[in-house]
Structure 1
């Protein structure tokens, strides 16, 4: 019910009352109204009091929140990485069209002062808080007031501003500042100061300048390029037809590249990539049709390196091309000939009916190569070693077929070359043992498994001991003695021969010097040490020789170095220089295994060789072969004519000794005097057989088979 209805009800009720009732009612109403008014004000006052209590509670909450916000603001102010400051005016200023803005700016630049700064701001200007507080815009823009006032004008016009300004630190160091600034106003709308956040962007500006310079340079280059492009476009339009021709040539070149990727560039034969691809197809086909047989032949030219080095690489390439022509004459329809290395070829024989088909092809190749090759007035005879392996369901990868054919080929080489060998599992076992031996050999020096043996060398004219040859032996940790024939070639292949040679050289020099100091030898004896061909290609070879002689105290005149003819062939100029330096140190050079190599006798004239050593193969067969004594006699004549001394090795019989004595051979060594023995046994030999005993060597008995060493020098 609303107030209008209540009012109407009361009015109707009054109309129904008489005068006395009305008077009494009026008095009562006055009292009632007073009570109502008192109740109203009482209610109103209680409401106001409750409101005040709520307001006071809210005020406390607000004050608490303000205090917390102030703490957060202080924390932000202190921890911010950007510089934060507050500048306040001495007196508020009005900024609108009714004032002279220039005068206002003059006032601001002198009376607006820094009131608060954080540490980041101090770091930016390199100043303390005391130095910054109270500074005015005029202080910051003293270097350019015009620019400063322009910035402030825009700032006051907008009420806020983001800008980049050039300023200076207190030590006058220039810097660029990027900042966000906000005007602060009082309730009358007048400016009382401003708040700012700013950061040092000097490095960024520096990069921008550098980028701008680079951009200008690029634009300049682009202009030049545009001019050049215009010229080239004109030229290209004129040569459009030629371009089409070039595209055709390019497509042809791509085809050629694809061809080259699968073929040998010298012979035009398939290369390893294409061979493996065909082998993969054959292996896959064989798994589905095991009755279809095929074989892989691996061929390697015997002594090709000697031919290549002697006649030159150009003639060597011509020889390989001529060889391919011969192989193609032996090729059956459907077979593949591939070149997979320098002088290594593979023939893939398909559709075989039996093993003999592959053997017949191998025999035909050997027969074709019995005829000489005639190249540029040279008549060249060559042979090949062939390894054969046949397909099997065990072969799942081409690499295994090629590996086994390669093993069979090396077996053919080891058995004398110019022949074929069929792969057998035993060959793989031998290869694995060889690999194991190589792994052991790499640690042979560190494990101290090498031993030096010494074999006496005797002068025939007076039967006096003149020295020893130092021969290395490998005695494994199981006390197994491994022949140099087995481990020296491996050491050559894996590169450890350099270290082995130097170890033997140091041990031999040290031992000879020890014998000299102990008085076990009276005459000035020498020691001969064999060196690998690879030693002479080492840049520090002479330095190593000098170091060893210095370490051991042995004089160079007591050292002789034995080399093979390959040293003279591979790098004649370098070797000649090394020989010259060795001569300066009185170290003599002995040419070992003379007569077994392929070098020219002219090397004896062109190099300062002191001695040659006739290989044991010529000495051992003198009793049974009529031609060998004649060969030895010829070698002696050549050496005498060139004033070179001769050593004969492998003397085992009195007949050999007497024959060499008649020929005038200078020195001999062999089992007739002593087998190679270790240091302890040689020392006993020196004590048992003095120099006088050697004069009666004709009465010595031949050594028994049991005393002969199973190793060869």
Structure 2
């Protein structure tokens, strides 16, 4: 295993080498060292000229003279070194480490992690081996291998290929199920899923967003009509700001709602400031609200224009983005953001939904802060439509058992 260690202090480089050998004595290590970013970049440049493979791992400090860790990151982002597993180490505070991690991930580097000194070598090796295992052992589904691109996205977008899943929304105080968010997938001949991060950009580029939204709404409402027991739960469906510019789509949404007024439909708005403040968008939102279709503001806190939107649009609820929620039990900065958001929502008389709830610790923290609703893997991952009623019945039965025991 070829490892490049970059640090301006010799004793730290020696300590890392010694610990690596001690943690995994059966592994054959070949160490390379650099005392600054510029020297490390020179070694990387040299390795690209050699016939031998590049490094298997790079461990670098951040703060160094003659080229810091950021210089190495920038170099790797523009060369074939991009795929080398990278470990970043620093004595900086956690907020700075998070920033560096975000910067590195934005370059799509193979980041193992950003760690505070002293480095836990055993943790690093475990993470590296895990990433290698996932890269080599987890096969892509056939659908992921399908050539889903701008040339064929229109042909893929139909009722046969659209597949809906539902993620529960739970009242934190009572633990009762109150609704579901619709999450879309594309599937081709039953061969696995194509996920939104792959097909949504293609749909938007092709100008098919309104057609896609209409398909999702029609299928979800049909599902709720097929199983009347679901009508006691809310049905939240995502729309984009560009959807608001289509008068035809807005009229279709209103017509569907009027025809199925016993379904608690809510639209979750994901938008950009460029579109949302256009007069046509605001008129569309007003038209939906007048026709008793409430609007939820999705991914609250991710945009600089959040407060402008709260001031101009009467949202029924706001959803705090999962990036602020998932580590709420130990990230003090995110605690402050979530706490202030909930306090603001209370003053505005707006309900709050926390996305990305994955642990009991996070759920308990949200309850202490007065959050209304939670959504995330702690309760359930997205549920395929064919299993939804079974999941609902099981969840409610478990709730009845807990109440009986109390």
Matched, 1:458 2:173: no
Partner of 2:396: 690
1:453 CA displacement: 0.4
Q: 1:661 to 1:444 in 2, by over 3 A?
A: same
Partner of 2:322: 616
Partner of 2:26: none
Matches within 5 A, 1:501-512: 501-512=213-224
Matched, 1:530 2:238: yes
Structure with higher Rg: it is: 1
Partner of 2:365: 659
Equivalents in 1 of 2:267, 2:250: separation in Å?
Answer: 12
Equivalents in 1 of 2:401, 2:204: separation in Å?
Answer: 40
Matches within 5 A, 1:509-658: 509-516=221-228, 520-521=229-230, 524-549=232-257, 553-555=259-261, 558-566=264-272, 569-658=275-364
1:594 CA displacement: 0.7
Q: Deviations over 1:507-551 (max 9, x none)?
A: 1111112222xxx34x7321000112220111213211133335x
Q: Judge conservation of contact 2:77–2:107 (CA < 8 Å) in 1.
A: no
Equivalents in 1 of 2:313, 2:160: separation in Å?
Answer: 36
Equivalents in 1 of 2:374, 2:401: separation in Å?
Answer: 14
Q: Judge conservation of contact 2:210–2:243 (CA < 8 Å) in 1.
A: yes
Q: 1:438 to 1:480 in 2, by over 3 A?
A: farther
SS at match of 1:438: coil
1:611 CA displacement: 0.4
Q: 1:434 to 1:537 in 2, by over 3 A?
A: farther
Equivalents in 2 of 1:591, 1:481: separation in Å?
Answer: 27
Partner of 1:289: none
Q: Judge conservation of contact 2:148–2:199 (CA < 8 Å) in 1.
A: no
Partner of 1:50: none
Q: Judge conservation of contact 1:557–1:588 (CA < 8 Å) in 2.
A: no
Q: Judge conservation of contact 1:589–1:609 (CA < 8 Å) in 2.
A: yes
1:473 CA displacement: 0.9
1:434 CA displacement: 9.6
- For structure 2, the 5+ residue unaligned runs are 1-47, 49-66, 68-73, 80-102, 110-144
Greater helix content: 1
Matched, 1:448 2:160: yes
Matches within 5 A, 1:330-345: none
Equivalents in 2 of 1:576, 1:528: separation in Å?
Answer: 20
Give the TM-score of the pair, scaled to structure 2: 0.61
Matches within 5 A, 1:223-262: none
Q: Judge conservation of contact 2:153–2:203 (CA < 8 Å) in 1.
A: yes
Q: Judge conservation of contact 2:161–2:188 (CA < 8 Å) in 1.
A: yes
- For structure 1, the 5+ residue unaligned runs are 1-354, 356-366, 368-383, 390-412, 420-432, 700-713
Equivalents in 1 of 2:241, 2:401: separation in Å?
Answer: 37
Equivalents in 2 of 1:558, 1:447: separation in Å?
Answer: 23
Q: Judge conservation of contact 2:354–2:371 (CA < 8 Å) in 1.
A: yes
Q: 1:694 to 1:475 in 2, by over 3 A?
A: farther
Matches within 5 A, 1:310-389: none
1:662 CA displacement: 1.0
Runs of 4+ in 1 over 3 A off after TM superposition: 386-389, 433-436, 567-572, 694-697
Partner of 1:681: 387
Equivalents in 1 of 2:232, 2:187: separation in Å?
Answer: 30
Partner of 1:8: none
Q: Deviations over 1:180-226 (max 9, x none)?
A: xxxxxxxxxxxxxxxxxxxxxxxxxxxxxxxxxxxxxxxxxxxxxxx
Q: 1:635 to 1:578 in 2, by over 3 A?
A: same
Q: 1:446 to 1:627 in 2, by over 3 A?
A: closer
Q: 1:599 to 1:493 in 2, by over 3 A?
A: same
Give the TM-score of the pair, scaled to structure 1: 0.36
SS at match of 2:389: helix
What value does the CA root-mean-square deviation take over the aligned residues? 3.4
Equivalents in 2 of 1:458, 1:695: separation in Å?
Answer: 17
Q: Judge conservation of contact 2:241–2:281 (CA < 8 Å) in 1.
A: no
Q: How many residues align?
A: 278
Equivalents in 2 of 1:606, 1:689: separation in Å?
Answer: 38
Equivalents in 2 of 1:539, 1:658: separation in Å?
Answer: 43
SS at match of 1:647: strand
Match of 2:210 among 495, 498, 506: 498
Q: Deviations over 1:466-518 (max 9, x none)?
A: 111111011122612112111111211112222111101111111112222xx
Matched, 1:438 2:150: yes
Matched, 1:416 2:106: yes
Q: Judge conservation of contact 2:317–2:350 (CA < 8 Å) in 1.
A: yes
Partner of 1:234: none
Q: Deviations over 1:208-249 (max 9, x none)?
A: xxxxxxxxxxxxxxxxxxxxxxxxxxxxxxxxxxxxxxxxxx
Equivalents in 2 of 1:596, 1:511: separation in Å?
Answer: 32
Equivalents in 2 of 1:651, 1:487: separation in Å?
Answer: 25
